[in-house]
Each structure stands twice: as structure tokens, then as C-alpha cells.
Structure 1
């Protein structure tokens, strides 16, 4: 296998990953609170060939000496774009939309490995009965919404009205005239590139935190106490996805053309090797 085939093959696998990422963005164009991702590429290792044995012949050269041959490109990073999505008014009391970038609700997910805290921008909340006269605040997928102390939110009695203020405080007016108040758990992502997509429009911390050498408090900040003044929520509205279909289609066409170019390079290299092997 010659160098042309090696270079093209290495890059093809990385282009396929970029196409998968773009496809995921397009599939979530109508997902509430979804944040698109962008890919950036870096060069793989390259070799330098000193084809000029006489340094005096290179005087005045503007480019580096020698000839450099690479072995392709790799996907360096997939970055989450936290740009604010458009706000859609629903007039539903239990719908809440962030109007600032980088803020997420905390929810509790139960899976086969136990309970885990996840983060989401989807503020479409619901109530599910737990026991007699006891309700729990959950997401559309049934995950418990957490308060500022990472505890599920339970409402005792028969609710009559709901109010969510700008700083994320949920006030429930009960049928008996009393009120119950809860502070929704909210975080601010400081380093969103460390957050992994866990499925179901949820984000979470990577499983290899120890190997990354980054602390949890560096990745996000819990907006509790005085920091709750930084929260910005609009009740009766939902944030739409920040995916722009026109941009994703343009990116997909560009990646497909790059994929075709490298596939053609492999075909040409194979034909050249066939000609050489056919020489008698």
C-alpha cells in the first residue's frame, strides 16, 4: 500500500465521524434545548525529507527546508456550540426556557448502573403521582427534576397554580390556600467541551474524569445562594434547538465532497499500483 492510500484511508474514517455528527445535528433540529456540535481537524504526524544536501542552495527560501509528507488528518475536537436558540411561547405554566447561554437544569436519571445527575436545557416539566396527595416534578421523559440541594422536588397536596420566576424559584399555590416554594437546580457550564451527550437530550460528566486531570468544579458552577441572581428563566416558553438546517446541509455537502475526493485518491493509487505490477 503506497502513501497516497494510507493518507486517504486515515482521513476517510475521520470524515465519516464528522458526517455522523452533522447527521445528529440535523436529526435534532426540532429537539427542545438541543445544542449543535462542530468538528475541528488537526494534522496527523508528518515526515520531513531533506532532499537538498547543500544548505547554500536554500539561501533566500521563504518556506521551511525539505519536503514534508503527511499521513492524513484526524478529528481534533467536537465542540458544543452554546449559542442561544429561539424562544417559543407556549403559555404552559410548567414550561421554562433559559434566556442566557451555558445554563442547564439538573435532573436525576435512573439506569442499570444506579442514579446519575444529568444536565438539560429542556424545560418542559410535568407532574407524576408518587403516592396519595404527593406529586413529583419530572421531565418529559420521566426523570426527576432536582432542586438546588440535588434532591427531587415533591409537591404535597393538590396544586392549583404554578409560578417560575426569573431566578428559577418554583412557587406552587395549593388548593387549600397555602404555597410551597422550591429552587430549581441550575448549573453554569464553564468548560462545555468536557460534557458528554448521554442520550435523551441529556449531558453528563465523562466517565474518565480522573484521566482528564480536570476537577468537577472547573467544568461547571452550581448557581446557588447569591449566584442565583445570574439565572435567567422565562416561564411559559421553551428554547428551540440552535441547529440551522441550511448550515448543516452546506457542511454535509462539503464533507461529502471531501469524502469523494479521498475515495477517488484511493482508486487512482490502486490503478497506479496495478499498472506497475503489470509491467513485464
Structure 2
């Protein structure tokens, strides 16, 4: 296998990963609160040939001196794009949408390996009964929604109406005329690239925090106390995904062209090797 084949096959595998990212974006165009991802590439290791010993002879050259022969490209980063999605009114009391970038609800994911705090922009919440008189606020997948103290939000009694203030306070107006208030657990994401997709439209902190030289305080800021004034929530509305289908389709077409080009490079290299081997 010659260098042309190695370069093309290396790049083909990375283009496939980018194609998976674009396909995932397109598949989630209707997912509430979904944030698209963008792929960026970097060069793999390359060799430098200093064919010009006299640098003064390259006076009008605009590129670096020498010849660089690489071995392809690699997917350097899959970056989450935090731009605000459009707001869709639903007229449903337990639908909530953030109107500022980077703010997330805290929920408790319960799985086979235990429970863990996750983060989501999907504000389509529901009620699940715990007993005849007690209900709990949950996500569409049944995960408990947490308050500012990381406790599940449970409501006792018959509720007449729900109200949500702009700074994230849930008010349950009871049938008997009383009310109960809860501060929704909200965080501001400062470094979104540290967060990992955990499935089900949830994000979470990476398992290898120590290796990444990061701390939870650097990545997230809990909007509690006086900082709750920074929260911006709109009730009876949901945030749509920030995926632009036309942009993703254009990116997919460019990817297909790049994939065809690299595949053609492999075919041409194979033909050249066949010609060389056929020389008598």
C-alpha cells in the first residue's frame, strides 16, 4: 500500500465520523432543546522536506518553506453549538423554555448503575403519581426534575393551577386556596465542550474529569440565591432545536464530494500500482 492509499483511507474513516455527526443533527431537528454539533478537523502527522537550503531564494513565497507530506486528516473536535433555538408556544402549563443560551435544567437520571445528575434544555415536564395525594415533576422519560437543592420536586394535594416565574420558580396553586413554591434547579454551562451526550437528550459531566484537568465549578455555575435573577424562562412554550436543515444538507453534500474524492484517490493509486507491476 503506497502513501496515497494510506492518506485516503485515514481521511475516509474520519469523514465517516463527521457524516455520523451531521446525520445525528438531522435526525434531531424536531427534538426539543437539542443543540447541534459541529466537527472540526486537524492534520495528522506529516513529514517536512527542506528542499530549499537558501531561504532568501524564497523571498516572494506566501506559504511556509519546504514541502510537507501528510498522512491525512483527523476529527479534532465535535463542538456543541449553544445558539438559542426558536420558541414555540404550546399553551401547556408545565412546558418551559429557556430564553438565554447556556442554561439547563437539572434532572436525576436513574439507571442500572445508579443515579446521576444530568442536564437538559427540554422543558416538557409532566406529573407522575407517587400516592393518592402526592405527585412528582418528571421529564418525558420519567426522570425526576430537581430543585435548587438537588431534591426531586414533589407536590402534596390537589393542584388547581401551575405558574412559572421568569427566574425559575414553580408555583402550585392548590384547590384549597393555598400554594406551594419550588425553585427549579438551573445551571449555567460555562464550558459546554466538557459535557458529554448521555442519551435521551441529556448531557452530563465526563467520567475522566481528573484527566481533563477540569472541575465541576469551572464547567457549571449553579444559579442559586441572588444569581437566580440571571435565569430566563418562558412558561407555556418549548425551545426548538437549533438545527438548520438547509445548512446540514449543504454540509452533507460537501461531505459526499470529499468522500468520493478520497475513494477515487484509492482507485487511482491502485491503478498506478497495477501499471508499475505490469512493466516488464
Counterpart for residue 57 of structure 2: 58
Counterpart for residue 35 of structure 2: 35
Q: Residue 159 of structure 2 contacts residue 175 of structure 2 at CA under 8 Å; is this kept in 1?
A: yes
Give, in whole Å, the separation in 2 of the partners of 1:64 and 1:234.
53
Instruction: Give secondary structure in 1 for the equivalent of 2:211.
Output: helix
Counterpart for residue 215 of structure 1: 215
Counterpart for residue 7 of structure 1: 7
Counterpart for residue 140 of structure 2: 140
Calculate the TM-score normalised by the size of structure 1: 0.97
Instruction: Give secondary structure in 2 for the equivalent of 1:171.
Output: strand
Q: Does 1:79 align with 2:79?
A: yes
Counterpart for residue 157 of structure 2: 157
Calculate the TM-score normalised by the size of structure 2: 0.97
Deviation at 1:274, TM superposition (A): 1.0
Give, in whole Å, the separation in 2 of the partners of 1:156 and 1:19.
49
Counterpart for residue 198 of structure 1: 198
What runs of 5+ residues in structure 2 fail to find an aligned partner? none
Deviation at 1:65, TM superposition (A): 2.9
Q: Residue 169 of structure 2 contacts residue 184 of structure 2 at CA under 8 Å; is this kept in 1?
A: yes
RMSD: 1.2
Instruction: Give secondary structure in 2 for the equivalent of 1:147.
Output: coil
Output one character per residue of 1:63-101: Cα deviation in whole Å (capped at 9) or x when no partner: 433211011111111111111111000110101000000
* Residue correspondences, number: 279
Counterpart for residue 277 of structure 1: 277
Q: Residue 168 of structure 2 contacts residue 232 of structure 2 at CA under 8 Å; is this kept in 1?
A: yes
Give, in whole Å, the separation in 1 of the partners of 2:188 and 2:173.
29
Instruction: Give secondary structure in 2 for the equivalent of 1:212.
Output: coil
What runs of 5+ residues in structure 1 fail to find an aligned partner? none
Residue 56 to residue 95, structure 1, CA distance change in 2 (3 Å)? closer
Deviation at 1:59, TM superposition (A): 5.0
Counterpart for residue 249 of structure 2: 249
Give, in whole Å, the separation in 1 of the partners of 2:55 and 2:177.
93
Residue 153 to residue 65, structure 1, CA distance change in 2 (3 Å)? same
Q: Residue 44 of structure 2 contacts residue 73 of structure 2 at CA under 8 Å; is this kept in 1?
A: yes
Give, in whole Å, the separation in 2 of the partners of 1:202 and 1:65.
48
Instruction: Give secondary structure in 2 for the equivalent of 1:145.
Output: coil
Give, in whole Å, the separation in 1 of the partners of 2:10 and 2:169.
51
Counterpart for residue 262 of structure 1: 262
Deviation at 1:197, TM superposition (A): 0.9
Instruction: Give secondary structure in 2 for the equivalent of 1:144.
Output: coil
Give, in whole Å, the separation in 1 of the partners of 2:211 and 2:58.
47
Instruction: Give secondary structure in 2 for the equivalent of 1:74.
Output: strand
Give, in whole Å, the separation in 2 of the partners of 1:55 and 1:185.
65
Q: Residue 58 of structure 1 contacts residue 65 of structure 1 at CA under 8 Å; is this kept in 2?
A: no
Counterpart for residue 16 of structure 1: 16
Output one character per residue of 1:146-171: Cα deviation in whole Å (capped at 9) or x when no partner: 00000000001111110000000000
Instruction: Give secondary structure in 2 for the equivalent of 1:78.
Output: strand
Deviation at 1:189, TM superposition (A): 0.5
Deviation at 1:45, TM superposition (A): 1.2
